[in-house]
Amino acid sequence: MRTDLEIEVLESIRPGPVEARRLQDISDLLIAKINDSGIALGLLVGSFSRGTWIRGQHDLDIFLLFPPDTNREDLEEKGLKLARYVIADFTDEYYEKYAEHPYLHARIGDIKIDLVPCYNLKPGSPLISAVDRTPFHTKYVKERVDSLTDDILLLKQMMKVIGTYGSDQLTGGFSGYLCEILVIYYNEFHSLLEAASHWKYGTLVDKEKHKSKSFSDPLIVIDPVDPKRNVASAVTIEKMSEFIEAARAYLVMPSRNFFIKFPNPKFSCSELKLILNERGTELYIIRIKRPALIDEIIGPQMKRSTNAITVLLQEHEFVVNRSAFAMNNDECIFIFEMMIDNLPAVRRHSGPSIFIEKNSLEFFRKYRKERENVFSGPFIDGENYIVEVKRKFCTVSELIHSEKFLQIRHGKQIRNAISEGFSLTSSAKSFIPEFSDELYSFFHRSSPLLKIEQEDKEKK
């Protein structure tokens, strides 16, 4: 039974006929041009083709289907060439993106379009590329979705608001197709939430009961068109947990705030200074020029570098409470909240046990000779040799400005950007107006449920 709240939400997120007609007209024109080429066939896939898209989400996914005997190089070369030819009459705003193989991403006004080459396979044929199963996804969902469209819209909108929607590397959440499969399996929005509120690690959803491979992921949803694939493989334990929390909460305290995303309050330098004083921690921000590449390439590299910098700091005994990164069109930043950012000059270094004769003798001889950076020792503490040595890096700044900063496992483009120059700032001097929203979110981190509860309290 649909509640009044859900009816109201659906009225605000269901696409209107004018909006749908506009997208359909663009899609029809593009597909007609693909078909007229005689090189490939055009096929509309994705949420728009299945009627499970949310108002204002203007995304078109169009596949260029090539014969199965097309070799891989030709698929990529001819596919991109055809995609450029097809889109040229509509816009000059397009560029290549890359998944398993290249495809074209374009914009026509506010409409985002992906033109993706793939193989035109028959059901049951072995996959040649990973995207080849997508047409089968579209067919499977379209045959089962009619009475469940509203349930899928509610689920997707909730996922977007609580931050669990999106299977990209940065989000680690639920794809649109996964949302559709879950609703089809549980047959209704509330039934899905009820089930999700009791999910455990390793929960299995297998609509067709044809799983032919074992998985160790937090959530396992067997692809109805591929028994060897887990549709939920991208879902992290964190995003799964956040959805479980939201499902439990909505069932007992439904609120419109589960479906409305509110902007963060304005955040200022003075507020940042107050927060740091209250927490007793220190903030460090590293700024670099953004490489001229798309988010899908830069994002994972920023994540990798953030993790590598965190490890570097921890290895040198600078204690990191939390770290994050953010990007805009011009800059990328690394954010670190430090519990300890300044260390004494002396560092205690433990050596081997005296009972390990060869190693302990080598340790003793080494530090007996190297006296320049030794405060005291070697001496014996219990059964181990100890030496108190001069610390190489006493501050975060010294470490970040050392050669070690470039030696860690950065992504290629991020390393190049750092080599060209970076800045390091600390405390409230790190406030960057262009990233005030990201800094607010960093220091006001909370679970989706807490954010929703806070919004409810403010309204009352």
Measuring CA to CA, how many Å separate 96 from each of 19, 58, 105, 216, 412?
27, 19, 6, 34, 19
Across the range 324-345, mean pLDDT stands at 95
pLDDT, residue 370, reads: 80
CB 197 within 8 A of CB 248: yes
pLDDT band at residue 192 under the 50/70/90 scheme: very high
Burial of 108 (0-12, 13-18, 19+ CB in 10 A): middle
Q: Calculate the dihedral angle through the C-alpha atoms of 145, 148, 153, 156, rounding to the nearest 10 degrees.
A: -80
pLDDT over threshold 70, residue 99: no
pLDDT over threshold 80, residue 457: no
CA–CA dist 453, 460 (Å, integer)? 11
pLDDT, residue 152, reads: 97
CB 60 within 8 A of CB 112: yes
pLDDT, residue 460, reads: 57
Across the range 125-151, mean pLDDT stands at 91
Across the range 155-167, mean pLDDT stands at 95
| DSSP letter string, 253-267 | S--GGGS-PPPPPP-
Q: What is the pLDDT of residues 387-439, one digit of tens each?
A: 999 999 999 999 999 999 999 999 889 999 999 999 999 998 999 999 999 99
Q: What is the pLDDT of residues 271-292, one digit of tens each?
A: 999 999 999 999 999 999 999 8
Q: Name residue 376's beta-bridge partners.
A: 388
CB 76 within 8 A of CB 102: yes
CB 346 within 8 A of CB 390: yes
pLDDT, residue 96, reads: 85
HEC sequence for 309-364: HHHHHHHCCCCEEEEEEEECCCEEEEEEEECCCECCCEEEEEEEECCCHHHHHHHH
CB 387 within 8 A of CB 376: yes
4-126 carries CATH number 3.40.50.2000: no
pLDDT, residue 127, reads: 84
CATH superfamily of 146-258: CCA tRNA nucleotidyltransferase, domain 2 (1.10.1410.30)
pLDDT, residue 261, reads: 84
pLDDT over threshold 90, residue 98: no
Beta-carbon contacts of residue 431 (< 8 Å; ≥ 6 apart): 268, 269, 272, 439
Across the range 201-228, mean pLDDT stands at 95
Question: Into which CATH architecture does domain 269-342+394-443 fall?
Answer: 2-Layer Sandwich (3.30)
Show the tokens assigned to 339. 């519990």
pLDDT, residue 459, reads: 61
Across the range 137-149, mean pLDDT stands at 94
E strands, 50-191, are: 59-66, 94-98, 102-108, 111-119
Show the tokens assigned to 3. 């509640």
pLDDT band at residue 458 under the 50/70/90 scheme: low
Across the range 102-120, mean pLDDT stands at 94
CB 63 within 8 A of CB 135: yes
CA–CA dist 393, 2 (Å, integer)? 62
Identify the residue with better confidence: 453 or 335: 335
Measuring CA to CA, how many Å separate 407 from each of 195, 266, 394, 401?
47, 38, 19, 12
Across the range 231-243, mean pLDDT stands at 96
Ordered by start, the domain boundaries in the chain are 4-126, 146-258, 269-342+394-443, 346-390
Across the range 243-265, mean pLDDT stands at 91
